[in-house]
Homo-oligomer: A and B are copies of this chain.
């Protein structure tokens, strides 16, 4: 049983809808239409300690991360985040003042950064740390995962660092490198570790580019999985190389990794993947916040990378 099969069963079973619902399952957020100029976007994201939270994470970083993961979905709709709620299951280990204070300080700091207040939640006793966030946002023009034929496919900033950071983390966790080697490598690749520990949702970018893009999603499961939402596309390796940071290239050389595969499989980057016919306009309008890079084009039919059939990538839960 995998995530995709489960979601198919869920979609078939959930039949009820009404006129408010413009978009249900099948995008980063659900979209609810209040009137022609007012749409709500609504999303949820869960983090389970064992599955999603590397043990090196500080409570502050866990707090920032759950907010970022949710707000990033709002950003990918080109919407402004309005508010965030956190349901939390705490085990005895975390039910102490220090942990709670640090976790919620992370939440508070990032809520300021995103102008997205944390307005409540539900606190529960459980066997392990689980955080389940939900966020709402507002826009007059929700942006979906799609593109028009001929549009450029673009990405904000860079990709690859999170995959490298997790590679390092698992080498350490699986005892392939010692604690001191791990620390040395973290010092050698500080930006790689930072992107894992403190990813940033591209909230300002999403709002600013709203009127100039045809489609958008955030990169939470890896470009290789997310790009498929755009259905028909061609990617260009030479263009993808331009958004790979030097430290990722260096890391790939040191650990014998293919940089393109690293980029395609790097999840929880929270960069925006979007389509536009106005590349220069978008580049200019977000220039104070993010760089943007072309990586491909929307085409009539098929999924290709440099003319070859596209092989994919990204993360899928399996049971």
Contacts and interface: CB of A to CB of B under 8 A. Distances in A.
Interface stretch (A44-52, A183-191, A286-294): A44-52
Interface string A107-137: 1100110010111111111111010101010
B44 A122 contact: yes
Contact of A127 (B29, B50, B112): B50
A6 interface: yes
Contact of A24 (B92, B120, B318): B120
B44 A132 contact: yes
A301 interface: no
A174 interface: no
A55 interface: no
Contact of A317 (B14, B101, B125): B125
Interface stretch (A82-90, A165-173, A223-231): A82-90
Interface stretch (A35-43, A156-164, A193-201, A236-244): A35-43
Interface in A1-54: 1, 3, 6-7, 9-10, 13-18, 20-21, 23-25, 29-30, 32, 34, 38, 40, 42-46, 48, 50-52
A100 B13 CA distance: 9
A182 interface: no
Given A6-B100, A134-B134, 13 more contacts: A9-B101, A13-B107, A18-B115, A21-B117, A30-B120, A32-B136, A42-B119, A44-B86, A50-B127, A51-B124, A89-B130, A124-B317, A130-B132
27 contacts: A1-B96, A10-B100, A13-B100, A13-B101, A13-B107, A14-B107, A16-B112, A20-B82, A20-B83, A20-B117, A29-B120, A30-B83, A30-B85, A34-B138, A40-B83, A40-B136, A42-B136, A44-B122, A44-B132, A46-B87, A46-B89, A48-B124, A51-B126, A85-B134, A90-B319, A122-B132, A125-B318
Interface of A: 1, 3, 6-7, 9-10, 13-18, 20-21, 23-25, 29-30, 32, 34, 38, 40, 42-46, 48, 50-52, 82-83, 85-90, 92, 95-97, 100-101, 104-105, 107-108, 111-112, 115, 117-128, 130, 132, 134, 136, 138, 317-319
